[in-house]
Structure 1
Amino acid sequence: MNQEAARQEQTDGASRPRFGVMISTLGMRPELRELLQSLATQTEPPYAVGIADQGTSTLVADVVREFESRLPIHLTRTESRGLSAGRNDAINASPSDITHYLFPNDTSTYPERLLERLGEYLGGADVGAMSYVDGLGVRNAAPAVRPPELTLAEVFSIIEAGMTVSARRLLEVGGFDEMIGTGSSGKRQSGEGTDLLLRMMQRGPLSVRWLPELRVMGVTQGYGLSPGAEASKARGYGYGYGYLLQHWRFPVGRRIRAIIGPIILSLRRQLRWRVGVQSALGRLDGLIAAMRETTRRPDAQGRDR
């Protein structure tokens, strides 16, 4: 079956999602070719692949040309900065009839049956939560009890690169907050996917299908970084996490554990000591910053803060 026929079959099947795979990249990762190769060999092809290139070279355009005959791919060159802005730019340039978006990192890869199985299992859920696996193993364990509607207790079990979200629900809240996420101009260098889910929850119940048996492959947080750069990145990631915990009024015990957790992991040698300390300090900084905010906004459960 050729690409156009497969796409038409998917469109004609009313119960089958039309998946749009949105990728933001600076054009410096050779793994981008591997990601596109994994999309091109899917047993059920994506409905659309959007790439937002925030780099200044022709490397991404060169890679895209290799796959134009095999994927329904569109490339957007953008001066926007940050992962969230890039994803929004890719969404804005994508077909309007996509039903669900996916957001792999440019270092991710998909097993060949992932989209086929995701289409089979997702049903009518607003969110599909898959496993994200890197060199350290599964990074987001599914909750033991898997409720059909997403709550605060489970929201951090979903990672952007391992989730699919309803296009309708995402567009209702305007996409990703571009002040949050890797490369953004804000201090919150993580948590954009969690913030997106929480804002969608704010507008009404968010149905979720937990699919831990479906695995997106990726790389570790410190991949390709020097020890100093990894520690700096951990600080920025920690800030975003701590800010979210306070901003959305997670339980006090959860906030305390968030600060202590990286230190404990360091002592158990699952994190380098310097990375653990910087992560803990970043989380504390984020918590304090959110506490100092004067703007009153409702939390994920609609309560005035």
Structure 2
Amino acid sequence: MKFSLIMATINRMDVIEKFMNSLLAQEYKVFELIIVDQNDDNRLENLIEKYSNQMQIIYIKSVRGLSRARNVGLSHATGDIIAFPDDDCWYPKELLKRVKNILVSNNSIAGLTGKSVDEDFNISAGVFDEEEGEVNKKNVWRRGISITIFLRKEVINKVGTFDEMLGVGSGTKFGSGEETDFLLRVIDNGYKVVYFPSIIVHHPNLTHLSLTYKRGYLYGCGLGILLNRHNYPMTYKIRTLVRPLGGILLSLLTLKWRHAPFYFGTLKGRVFGMLYK
């Protein structure tokens, strides 16, 4: 069983080397690293030359956009299992071996997901369930993040690739949601994806991200269109509007005014996405 690890990258160097070193340390070494370079220059040239004799590397240039880059990578993948590491994540040494063992022993599973933690094993992106179980429409938000998705290639061949209208760098209003849409389409096609909280991928903590109106709006639009596209009930949609509304009120009441634009952008974006045709 061979892994294809599709890593889109832009404006990064040192962290990529950290990831590649984590690949060299893997206990299971049957994999190819597909680097999809969205930089305008050739800054990765020396790094790729350094590692090219130590692992199989497929190097591709791509226009910007995370979903576009991943789709380019998918068109070059030759592995049985596909994963989508970020350029600033890194793998624990036993990760690929554990994923391989799970999928070999469970033919009914189309893929699996895990959780993201920082170097101190604190949750580093989002909120995750503590219980193992199948991924579905209700819990996908707590059980699916792109860097921990491992899917059989045959399933992707049937379901299709990432929607290039969604995600960071898409050039649209929908600046998030590409991996959730991807997983939901897998599930909607009748495939089983299982979440294992013991499967971890390391990633720096994201608490430093700026809470700007633009970020809130783009992320909000992404969530809103997913709820619309995948036919979530109106009650669920309303609940997703209550939280940013509460965030606005709390920001004003606690005099943390600089947070209010982020929550307002989130609210406005979610409404736009829900109504988008």
Shorter-normalised TM range: 0.7 to 0.9
CA distance in 1 between counterparts of 2:263 and 2:137 reads 22
Contact 1:132 1:218 (8 Å CA) reproduced:
yes
Q: 2:46 aligns with which of 34, 39, 62?
A: 62
Structure 1 residue 144: Cα displacement: 4.3
Contact 1:20 1:46 (8 Å CA) reproduced:
no
Is structure 2 residue 128 aligned with structure 1 residue 141? yes
User: How many residues were matched structurally?
Assistant: 265
Letter in 1 for 2:136: T
Aligned pairs (5 A) from 1:23-38: 23-38=7-22
CA distance in 2 between counterparts of 1:185 and 1:105 reads 20
Letter in 2 for 1:94: A
Per-residue CA distance 1:111-163 (angstroms, 9 max, x = gap): 1111111111233211211111248625341374724xx42112222011111
Letter in 1 for 2:150: T
Q: 2:87 aligns with which of 106, 112, 131?
A: 106
Over 3 Å counting, the alpha-carbon distance change for 1:276 and 1:52 in structure 2 is: farther
Q: Equivalent residue for 2:5?
A: 21
CA distance in 2 between counterparts of 1:34 and 1:276 reads 36
Q: Secondary structure at the match of 1:196?
A: helix
Q: 1:233 aligns with which of 207, 215, 232?
A: 215
Contact 1:143 1:154 (8 Å CA) reproduced:
no
Contact 1:29 1:107 (8 Å CA) reproduced:
no
CA distance in 2 between counterparts of 1:255 and 1:280 reads 16
Aligned pairs (5 A) from 1:167-182: 167-182=153-168
Q: Secondary structure at the match of 2:35?
A: strand
In terms of mean alpha carbon deviation, does 255-264 or 62-71 score higher? 255-264
Letter in 2 for 1:120: N
Aligned pairs (5 A) from 1:280-291: 281-291=265-275
Q: 1:162 aligns with which of 128, 148, 160?
A: 148
Per-residue CA distance 1:226-276 (angstroms, 9 max, x = gap): x47x553233122201221122121333322322334657859xxx86456
Q: Equivalent residue for 1:191?
A: 177
Is structure 2 residue 195 aligned with structure 1 residue 210? yes
TM-score (norm 2): 0.85
Q: Equivalent residue for 1:247?
A: 229
Q: Secondary structure at the match of 1:137?
A: coil
Q: Equivalent residue for 1:153?
A: 138
CA distance in 1 between counterparts of 2:2 and 2:236 reads 37
Structure 1 residue 196: Cα displacement: 1.0
CA distance in 2 between counterparts of 1:275 and 1:220 reads 19
Is structure 2 residue 233 aligned with structure 1 residue 261? no
Query: Percent same amino acid among aligned pairs?
Result: 24
CA distance in 1 between counterparts of 2:202 and 2:77 reads 24
Is structure 2 residue 28 aligned with structure 1 residue 44? yes
Over 3 Å counting, the alpha-carbon distance change for 1:56 and 1:221 in structure 2 is: same
CA distance in 2 between counterparts of 1:263 and 1:29 reads 39
Q: Equivalent residue for 1:13?
A: none
Q: Equivalent residue for 2:116?
A: 132
Q: Equivalent residue for 1:88?
A: 71
Structure 1 residue 280: Cα displacement: 5.2
Q: List gaps (5 residues or longer) in structure 2.
A: none
Structure 1 residue 179: Cα displacement: 1.2
